[in-house]
């Protein structure tokens, strides 16, 4: 078997890993439950590292030894406490990636050293760099950072051959992205992207949890803000009732012995209707619709020109999402590819292309931000402002891209020029984000107007490199916008690898896969459940029945019964996938 590059969706709530083998996207099971790994990291009672369901389960009793939603902290310089030790967001994410790497190696039977990792389209440069560093700490060469909506479009593109303009609406656990794409003749062209890196299903959970906490205050006069165990239980209950309300009109929270008052146990029971829930989160959904409108405007595409709306991310199961999009576009969104898996599937498709596997697809991505510098400018009243923003690479420009512009010194014999780099859309640099600066010194003694050529180069991963060159002498300085590297040099990366490796302990034990039956069952179940949304009528009923038979045989059947059930499901999948 040749070199394998896996595709990884490093999500706020859940993460997945996939690979293309024999021309088919294969979701790699992380347990007998399937391919979805909760993005939760914990330290167990004996000091062992827990990643995934085990960490999520212990969060109720030991919230101080558990970290969730670390993706929202990526790109920050602060540390996260885990079991009394401080870790960087990159290190926590690396623990999740290391787990995915190990289960992939166990499943594939060979080392995995390279990966395509997805990020929200609206992730900043610092967040992308942090993601790349997390991969390196986990022992992965990150060959591509891929935008999540773009990955989802790749997964959907495999299923339809006609040309169309689509909206990719990606609402996950912690982030929201929307992209406008043109898909034609195997080319996936992203026309624009917009979004919010701090909006997602976690916020929906928080609204429900606030309602529960309010009920406790109103009913018992108790503030739970300092009761970490009770808050962790309410967080879990909020997530569970949110999932229920995706399919049912009512959901009930029932938490026995939640806390004590006056020495007596207190039980919390509260029914929440879907109508109440949707009212709680309606402002968040409206914010996503506003982002959709911005993306359409930036792409120069009218809502009436959109042929399809593709739903991505587990939070799109909330019925209000589909209803609002249908009201906005006059058509029902598509849910054909499993919303939790399609990003990892698209990442695997792109990984296969990088590995040299012909897929017939061409990917054209765009930058979600405008990058530029500052310059002196004359205002309407004749005054000179030093705060003018000069864009070099504009938002929604296809990447990779290189742009250059000439600037001039402003005084005679100016011996240095300080170059400031900004990200944003405002004509006043003070309203944008400064992402870097450097000094071009040692300039020649020349009259003002000495030409300085500034070059911006944005690669396919969204990483920006800048150079400033004095045209007359060739004097040049370069800068890679990599604020994380200042904190994560090679020595720091090596130390982080050692810290994470020490927590992983015996890699064989940590990567121990389920027994052969569980592995086979998990793989078959993942394939089947990914196919279910495409089916209807008898095919859907038959596939559901075969899945149930397999799980029953796994739970209590003989080896022969399990073999029969797995072969029956495999045969049906072969028929349905062909």
- Provide the pLDDT for residue 358: 62
Question: Cβ(387)–Cβ(430) under 8 Å?
Answer: yes
Higher pLDDT, 108 or 534: 108
Q: What is the pLDDT of residues 305-323, one digit of tens each?
A: 999 899 988 899 898 999 9
Whether residue 433 has pLDDT greater than 50? yes
Whether residue 438 has pLDDT greater than 60? yes
Question: Cβ(178)–Cβ(167) under 8 Å?
Answer: yes
- Provide the pLDDT for residue 485: 38
Q: What is the pLDDT of residues 365-375, one digit of tens each?
A: 778 778 999 88
Percentage of the chain beyond pLDDT 90 is 33
Question: Cβ(352)–Cβ(32) under 8 Å?
Answer: no
What's the token pair of residue 93?
Answer: 């994410």
- Provide the pLDDT for residue 484: 38
> 97, 61, 3: which is closest to 501 by C-alpha?
97
| Contact residues for 290 (Cβ-Cβ < 8 A; gap 6+) | none
Q: What is the pLDDT of residues 159-197, one digit of tens each?
A: 556 678 999 999 988 889 999 988 877 677 889 988 888
Average pLDDT, the chain: 84
Active site residues: 9, 71, 148, 170
Question: Cβ(466)–Cβ(128) under 8 Å?
Answer: no
- Provide the pLDDT for residue 411: 85
pLDDT band at 2 (very low <50, low <70, confident <90, very high): low
90-94, Cβ contacts within 8 angstroms, sequence gap of 24 or more: 90/130, 90/133, 90/134, 90/137, 90/484, 90/488, 90/496, 91/134, 91/137, 91/496, 91/499, 91/500, 92/41, 92/67, 93/10, 93/130, 93/131, 93/134, 94/134, 94/135, 94/137, 94/138, 94/496, 94/500
| Alpha helices by DSSP H, 9-88 | 53-58
Could you give the 3-state DSSP secondary structure of residue 309? strand
**Rounded Cα–Cα distance for residues 46 and 449 (Å):** 68
Maximum average pLDDT range among 46-50, 98-102, 332-336, 445-449 = 98-102
- Provide the pLDDT for residue 87: 93
Residue range 426-432: mean pLDDT, rounded: 85
Q: What is the pLDDT of residues 36-70, one digit of tens each?
A: 999 999 998 788 899 998 898 888 778 888 999 99
Whether residue 421 has pLDDT greater than 80? yes
């Amino acid at each position: 078997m040749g070199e394998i590059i896996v595709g990884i969706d490093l999500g706020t709530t859940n993460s997945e890993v996939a690979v293309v083998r024999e021309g088919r996207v294969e979701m790699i099971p992380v347990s007998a439950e399937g391919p979805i790994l909760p993005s939760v990291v914990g330290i167990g009672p004996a000091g062992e590292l827990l990643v995934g369901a085990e960490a999520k389960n212990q969060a109720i009793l030991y919230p101080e030894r558990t970290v969730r939603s670390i993706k929202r902290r990526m790109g920050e310089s602060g540390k996260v406490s885990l079991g009394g030790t401080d870790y960087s967001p990159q290190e926590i994410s690396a623990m999740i990636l290391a787990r995915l790497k190990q289960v992939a190696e166990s499943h594939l039977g060979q080392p995995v050293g390279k990966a395509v990792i997805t990020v929200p389209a609206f992730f900043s440069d610092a967040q992308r760099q942090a993601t790349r560093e997390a991969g390196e700490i986990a022992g992965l060469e990150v060959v591509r950072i891929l935008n999540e909506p773009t990955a989802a479009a790749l997964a959907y593109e495999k299923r339809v051959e006609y040309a169309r303009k689509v909206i990719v609406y990606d609402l996950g656990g912690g982030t929201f992205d929307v992209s406008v794409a043109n898909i034609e003749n195997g080319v996936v062209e992203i026309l624009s992207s917009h979004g919010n890196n701090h909006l997602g299903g976690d916020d929906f959970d928080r609204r429900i949890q606030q309602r529960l906490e309010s009920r406790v205050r109103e009913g018992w006069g108790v503030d739970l803000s300092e009761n970490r165990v009770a808050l962790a239980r309410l967080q879990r209950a909020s997530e569970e009732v949110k999932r229920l309300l995706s399919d049912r009109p009512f959901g009930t929270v029932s938490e026995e012995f939640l806390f004590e008052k006056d020495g007596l146990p207190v039980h919390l029971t509260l029914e929440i209707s879907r109508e109440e829930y949707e009212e709680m989160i309606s402002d968040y959904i409206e914010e996503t619709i506003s982002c959709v409108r911005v993306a359409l405007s930036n792409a120069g595409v009218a809502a009436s020109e959109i042929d399809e709306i593709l739903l991505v991310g587990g939070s799109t199961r909330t019925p209000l999402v589909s209803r609002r999009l249908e009201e906005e576009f006059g058509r029902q969104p598509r849910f054909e590819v499993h919303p939790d898996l399609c990003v990892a599937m698209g990442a695997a498709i792109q990984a296969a292309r990088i590995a040299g596997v012909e897929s017939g697809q061409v990917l054209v991505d765009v930058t979600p931000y405008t990058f530029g510098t500052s310059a002196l400018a004359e205002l309407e009243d004749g005054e000179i402002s030093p705060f003018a923003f000069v864009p070099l690479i504009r938002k929604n420009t296809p990447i990779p891209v290189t742009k250059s512009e000439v600037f001039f010194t402003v005084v005679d014999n100016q011996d240095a020029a300080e170059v400031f780099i900004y990200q944003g859309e405002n004509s006043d640099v003070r309203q944008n984000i400064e992402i870097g600066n450097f000094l071009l010194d040692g300039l020649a003694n020349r009259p003002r107007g000495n030409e300085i050529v500034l070059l911006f180069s944005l690669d396919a991963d969204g990483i920006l490199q800048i150079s400033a060159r004095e045209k007359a002498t060739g004097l040049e300085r370069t800068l890679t916008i990599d604020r994380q590297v200042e904190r994560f040099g090679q020595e720091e990366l090596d130390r982080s690898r050692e810290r994470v490796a020490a927590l992983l302990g015996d890699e064989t034990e940590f990567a121990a896969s389920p027994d052969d039956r569980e592995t086979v069952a998990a793989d078959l179940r993942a394939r089947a459940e990914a196919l279910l949304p495409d089916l209807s009528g008898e095919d859907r009923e038959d596939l559901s029945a075969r899945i149930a038979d397999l799980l029953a045989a796994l739970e209590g059947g003989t080896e022969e019964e399990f073999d029969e059930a797995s072969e029956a499901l495999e045969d049906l999948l072969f028929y349905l996938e062909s």
